[in-house]
Structure 1
């Protein structure tokens, strides 16, 4: 048991060291002058009547750089198109375009983004989800970051708004994985596709580079554009970057645990839930974040070294606290951290082991053949 506690401490120290390096790197990135050129803010929307009004108000309030805002209405059956059309009537910077019928071999979001990319006229293309609220300086800051870094693609995680227990138990894994396990300083020095990462909620791409690499058409079958698109860009020898985006945008992804479970499950097979990757991630995440509290509970029974177990738990919670405070997430999620990681692993294993159905529900009620 002492050896197990030592292993837990080592596995907790790994993300702690990476998080420290990453947070310092994100904080130290110098700001650049706002580049010249139009930014196209591109929003795929399917049945987003509850979100689209505030999202458009925020996008149209952008400052520091000229913007056009284009919404692709993807066969909505609610009032999405009418809301957009009403706002567009009073602001010529906003356009509404219909999405053609979904071709075979495409997922819905990628097809809508492809249509948006074709319609955009800006120097930079800023793809945002319909539930993302840009800060007034958000678009300009992302364009400036791309200019400063010489990156073809720049992304960041918006500040995640979580109002229910189910959201607080699931959503924080996004920042833990990016900031605790992706070596951002190394990513900035190399163009290895394996180091590519983005948050699909907020992605800015240089328009010429986007079209040169094939844009969303190059990942047309994917359900995880945040993983696949930056890797396509890096495979072409171009740089991608991550920035601290908690003050650039906000997003409430889901409203309860059921939505979060379904949402994270749909693209698990393109993330951690593969036969090769998931056992490794289970050791890394389970050993570094779930095992320490179990060893602390077992220590009074004479099972193992209490000091080492407490040290591992402290390192794990301090890492999560540092990431949470840096990204301005809900601090009440910090004590839930071991359970959050355990649930994330359960979700990934469920996605990997469950029998494949004839179709998998994905984006806004569409189904696609199982891979």
Structure 2
């Protein structure tokens, strides 16, 4: 190796890696209490089951080929307490038994309604159009947009209502998003699904998010959104993001662009979800909307530096420093202080880089295996982002649930 390059890797880059790892770890640790503050705000005036003041909520569920999950989803919603519900499901051109299952449930529970999807209009994404039509059929002022693979706890909706009413420094919340507890089975799921929490908590300043309506702080989870008809209409409805596949980012941004505050919280006390069931689904799921998130010309290189520098670079600098140490020992030469410091700082950087994932494994009940293999998760995640960017440059779009839209 070129002497100056070797010196740079051993003497300089470990400190860069440590700084980047400390940035992510510090942000994660400071954000976590704010992210997990959902339960603290439960109000004392929660209505009882026979109370005339029961909160009325329209639960809106877009469903396309969800026969494996829709029944469990609906059963969980119908077990909700302290709320008066209507549950509307849109069967978005399913080719399986999704519609049949919903009809059978609707026959036994009048709170459930099924509407049929129509041919997707030009320029619309399927899910956004389904949500748009669902909201048109909603009779209640408060709306809960819910993915069909999410199962709610009985108190979830009333807790979401109470959390939605909390006023922050930036004003009242127009859109609340909750991140359900994510079930993971395969190794790919354990590695990559927790990355949503890792990136959210390591790089989004929650205090600023709740103190400003600036669109730069837009973030959320498309699996679960709670809002009102008035705020939803003021944001332009899902028509404002009609072509997007990334409602988790784009819908909060639409609210913020119209002067409303959005918030996101830990939803694990309220909901559980298994997004994917195989490595192929995980990769395809991450690819489908990556260009609307990180995999674009504005963010891809900065995030490659942030993620790679904090979580992969210290392993490289440690390996180079150890290799230098071993070669010097073999030659009977003294070991320079710079090499010793390089090994020490690289080791510290590695330990610091594990803080977010290990903390997530403990506090957010995420996979310990995935946390241990965190550097592999980072490399895999970045490769998927660059793959998505390359697909975008070539004009290729990933098929999702049997269609491009």
TM range (shorter): over 0.9
Alpha carbons 2:287, 2:398 under 8 Å: kept: no
Q: Residue in 2 aligned with 1:141? A: 159
Moved more, 359-368 or 264-273: 359-368
Residue in structure 1 matching 2:25, options 16, 31, 50: 16
Unaligned runs of 5+ in 2: 1-9, 48-53, 326-338
Task: Indicate which of 366, 369, 386 corresponds to 1:349.
Answer: 386
Change (3 A) 1:321 1:358: closer
Q: Which residue of 2 aligns with 1:340?
A: 377
Q: Do the aligned partners of 1:292 and 1:310 also contact (CA within 8 Å) in 2?
A: yes
Compare CA radii of gyration and give the structure with the larger one.
2
TM-score norm. by structure 2 comes to 0.87
CA contact (8 A) 1:68 1:93 kept: yes
Structure 1: which 4+ aligned runs deviate by more than 6 Å?
A: none
Deviation digits for residues 150-188 of structure 1 (CA, Å, limit 9, x no counterpart) = 211011211111101121121111010111111111100
Q: Distance in 1 between matches of 2:142 and 2:400?
A: 25
Q: Give CA deviations for 1:245-266 in whole Å, capped at 9, x if unaligned.
A: 1111111111111111111101
> Is 2:55–2:82's contact at 8 Å kept on the other side of the alignment?
no
Q: Which residue of 1 aligns with 2:282?
A: 260
Deviations 1:228-247 (A, max 9, x none): 00011011111111111111
**Could you tell me how far apart the structure 2 residues matched to 1:341 and 1:361 are?**
22
Written as runs of structure 1 = structure 2, the 5 A alignment for 1:130-279 is 130-149=148-167, 150-279=172-301
Secondary structure of the structure 2 residue equivalent to 1:354: helix
SS in structure 2 of the partner of residue 365 of structure 1:
coil
Alpha-carbon distance between aligned partners in 2 of 1:27 and 1:228, rounded to the nearest angstrom: 23
Q: 2:100 matched to 1:63?
A: no
Judge conservation of contact 1:108–1:363 (CA < 8 Å) in 2.
Answer: no
Where does residue 358 of structure 2 map in the other structure?
321
Q: 1:327-364: CA deviations, max 9, x gaps?
A: 22122211111110111110011111237566623441
Aligned residues between the structures: 368
**Structural mapping, 1:120-135, within 5 Å:** 120-135=138-153
Once the two structures are TM-superposed, the CA of residue 306 in structure 1 deviates from its matched residue by 1.1
SS at match of 1:22: helix
Could you tell me how far apart the structure 1 residues matched to 2:396 and 2:312 are? Answer: 33
Aligned to 1:41: 59
After superposition, what is the alpha-carbon deviation per residue over 1:208-245, rounded to whole angstroms, capped at 9, x for unaligned?
Answer: 11012221111000010000000110111111111111
* Contact 2:60-2:143 at 8 Å conserved across structures: yes
Partner of 1:108: 126
CA contact (8 A) 2:91 2:115 kept: yes
Over aligned residue pairs, what C-alpha RMSD do you find? 1.6
Where do 5+ consecutive residues of structure 1 fail to align?
A: none
Specify the alignment match of 1:311 in structure 2.
348
Question: Per the alignment, in what secondary structure is the counterpart of residue 89 of structure 2?
Answer: strand
The 2-side partners of 1:48 and 1:355 are apart by 28
Are residue 2 (structure 1) and residue 2 (structure 2) matched? no
Contact map agreement 1:37 1:66 (CA 8 A) in 2: yes
Q: In the aligned structure 2, how far is the partner of 1:60 from the partner of 1:177?
A: 33
Matched residues in 2 for 1:361 and 1:265: separation?
7
